[in-house]
Structure 1
Amino acid sequence: MTSTADLYDERAADLDSLSLQLRDFGGRRTFHGPIRTVRCSRDNALVKAMLATPGAGAVLVVDGGGSLASALVGDLIAASAVDNGWAGIIVHGAIRDSEAIGMLPLGVKALGTNPRKSAKDGVGEVDVAVEIDGVVFRPGAHVWCDPDGVLTER
């Protein structure tokens, strides 16, 4: 994959750059793919359900509203993503089991960690446009991630 810096230099007019500083947690720090989305608040049932389906190299963008109050992804959900062919997960919120997730061949970016579990009620929305720090992530658009940041198609 071309670095996000080089890609931005080539296609600045077509791309948005996420200025929010996410941390890298997965075993792959460079990943990209078509976007799928989940919007949820302290409830990861939809995240778990989505990552249990064939990912075909997609990246799941999870808009948890920036809450660090409970984790939206843990090691079991991340392992399911690997088993189902997902390229990565971007979480605007917290994850847990970060050391185990770091051993998986999966890209994972998140705001931070919290060992607290989230609810499992299935409240939220799937495959809707989500806005994180002024950048809109649209289902089907492409996203690129590396240690320098996150780019998505406008």
Structure 2
Amino acid sequence: MSEFFKQFNFIQQIQFTALRLFYQGLAFFLVVGLWSCASNEPSNLNLPSLKIGANVTKIQEIKPQEGKQTTVYIQGKVEKIAPLVKQQAYLIADATGKIWVVTNQTHLKMGQDVVIKGKVKYKSIPLAGQEYGEVYLEEE
């Protein structure tokens, strides 16, 4: 009978060790997950190597469509920053052109690679019989 109790005790020790390892692993992943969520630094993704696919629109192809608000994704570098009331405007450039993006984001830096989803907008600016309007994006 003592052999039975030795085997039973051995099995209990293995189960306890496995359970302890499970909880240690779970605690590790929870700590790492919370730590990554707590970082206030913007992500340092290497966006030029990130392939979004057919969803990215070249800036030169962005045109306003009357009565329709088109949503597009653009990818490029931040060239200029213009502070607005409660918002920011960023001039984003890709190999085909430049476009202003109005957003609530405040952490973007000059030269940073970004991917932005926004609605195509047009602001008409008639001046002395001429149209000086501008196409821009409003981030969603």
Normalised to the residue count of structure 2, the TM-score between the two structures is 0.25
Q: What TM-score comes out, normalization by structure 1 length? A: 0.23
> Which structure has more RCO (C-alpha within 8 Å, separation ≥ 6)?
1
The structure number with the bigger radius of gyration is 2
